[in-house]
Amino acid sequence: MQTELSKKLGVEHAIFGFTPFPAVAAAISRAGGFGVLGAVRYTAPDDLKRDLDWVHEHTDDKPYGLDVVMPAKKVEAQGGQALSEADVEAMIPEAHREFVRATLAKHGVPELAEGEASGWRITGWMEQVARSQLDVAFDYPIKLLANALGSPPADVIERAHAHDVLVAALAGSARHARKHADAGIDIVVAQGYEAGGHTGEIATMVLTPDAVDAVAPLPVLAAGGIGSGEQIAAALALGAQGVWTGSIWLTTTEAEMHSRKLTEKLLAAESSDTVRSRALTGKPARQLRTEWTDAWDDPTGPGPLPMPLQGLLVAEAVSRIQKHEVEALLGTPVGQIVGRMNSERSVRVVFDELTRGFERAIDRVNRIAGR
């Protein structure tokens, strides 16, 4: 499965796999795809360094990349200085804090133990943290730097190019895609409505060719709704130079999910069990629908705050829900493809099924076309 972009990056198959887990990223690259490690959960540069060391040692010299979450615009105080986490905390209304407490109490969610840190942090979303991640990342031979929140700042793009690193940015519309292209990035990831995480309203079937036309000759990767070889064939027919997958790796045996119950929820979920909600970060993100998302999406409640306030507001609550595995509230960003994630298999087995399914789909369309 070779496109201009996969040749440029030196991968066997034009399948990009985004994951927060080093073992999954390395296994995707070893299998012949392009593993992309998500950096958002690393608040300490040393932790990222440790995991990139591990990935580097376990990819058999195959290429890999890094995904950061760097806001296109800085969160600034009125004077123009960057805001600290404490400044942002101070903007959260007390009524919203009370709603968090009441919702947790309603479901009997225990406190964290004394001194136990909140595992889920929003800090990786703040520009200074993302920049410290980059200081680490450019010491490794990464081939791709992706940004999940718009184009990275111009100096970051320059720095990446100086290291021969291609820059990718996620886009939810043709207009976003053009903006990224104008900013000087190299690859657009067209993130369809059905995708997990932050996403817009235009579905992959429509968005992919829209983005391809908007930024040609820049390459577009299709994201959203892709978890089978048939879906890969569809994305490539739409003009993509590859696919950007994420959700399907969450239930692989190499994935280190923080909760067994959450893995079981993912395995049991159907396509209709996700919701595009602002509950987690303040921006619409597709995730498992839970009583937590229902509470935030309830029109009689206070509703979510804008980013980055909502993320800070719910960080500790999400950690408590996860640590105590409170089933009704336990969720995670995931796409509509969750309906096909019905068994736990190794990355290699999932990957080989993708390439076999792709070949089957090509056979099928050739038969229909009379070739």
Binding site for its own copies (CB under 8 A): 1-3, 14, 173-175, 192-194, 200-207, 209-210, 224-226, 228, 230-231, 233-239, 270-272, 299, 335-337, 339-340, 358-359, 361-362, 364-366, 368-371
Least separation in angstroms between residue 207's CB and its own copies is 7
Residue with tokens 């999932």: 350
- Determine the Cα–Cα distance for residues 224 and 192; give it in Å rounded to an integer: 5
- Residue 19 in contact with residue 28, Cβ under 8 Å? yes
- Determine the Cα–Cα distance for residues 309 and 85; give it in Å rounded to an integer: 10
Least separation in angstroms between residue 170's CB and its own copies is 16
Residue with tokens 């992959």: 204
Instruction: Tell me: cis bond preceding 217? Omega within 30 of 0 counts.
Output: yes
Least separation in angstroms between residue 218's CB and its own copies is 17
Looking at the Cβ atoms of 173 and 263, the one nearer to its own copies is: 173
Looking at the Cβ atoms of 14 and 37, the one nearer to its own copies is: 14
Q: Judging by beta carbons within 10 Å of its beta carbon (0-12, 13-18, 19+), is residue 183 exposed, middle or buried?
A: middle
Looking at the Cβ atoms of 47 and 297, the one nearer to its own copies is: 297
Looking at the Cβ atoms of 77 and 237, the one nearer to its own copies is: 237
Looking at the Cβ atoms of 235 and 321, the one nearer to its own copies is: 235
The amino acid sitting at 17 is G
Q: Is the dihedral of CA 163, 180, 169, 190 positive or negative?
A: negative
Least separation in angstroms between residue 214's CB and its own copies is 11
Looking at the Cβ atoms of 216 and 365, the one nearer to its own copies is: 365
Beta carbons within 8 Å of 316's beta carbon, 6+ residues apart: 112, 118
Least separation in angstroms between residue 137's CB and its own copies is 30
Looking at the Cβ atoms of 153 and 229, the one nearer to its own copies is: 229
Least separation in angstroms between residue 357's CB and its own copies is 10
Looking at the Cβ atoms of 100 and 238, the one nearer to its own copies is: 238
Least separation in angstroms between residue 9's CB and its own copies is 15
Least separation in angstroms between residue 238's CB and its own copies is 5
Sheet containing strand 274-277, edge to edge, reads 197-198, 285-288, 274-277
DSSP per residue over 154-213, as a string? HHHHHHHHHTT-EEEEEESSHHHHHHHHHHT-SEEEEE-TTSSEE--SS-HHHHHHHHHH
Least separation in angstroms between residue 270's CB and its own copies is 7
C-alpha radius of gyration, the chain, whole number: 20
Looking at the Cβ atoms of 18 and 193, the one nearer to its own copies is: 193
- Determine the Cα–Cα distance for residues 371 and 218; give it in Å rounded to an integer: 30
**Shortest CA distance to 188 belongs to which of 152, 224, 212?**
212
**Shortest CA distance to 63 belongs to which of 120, 106, 14, 124?**
14
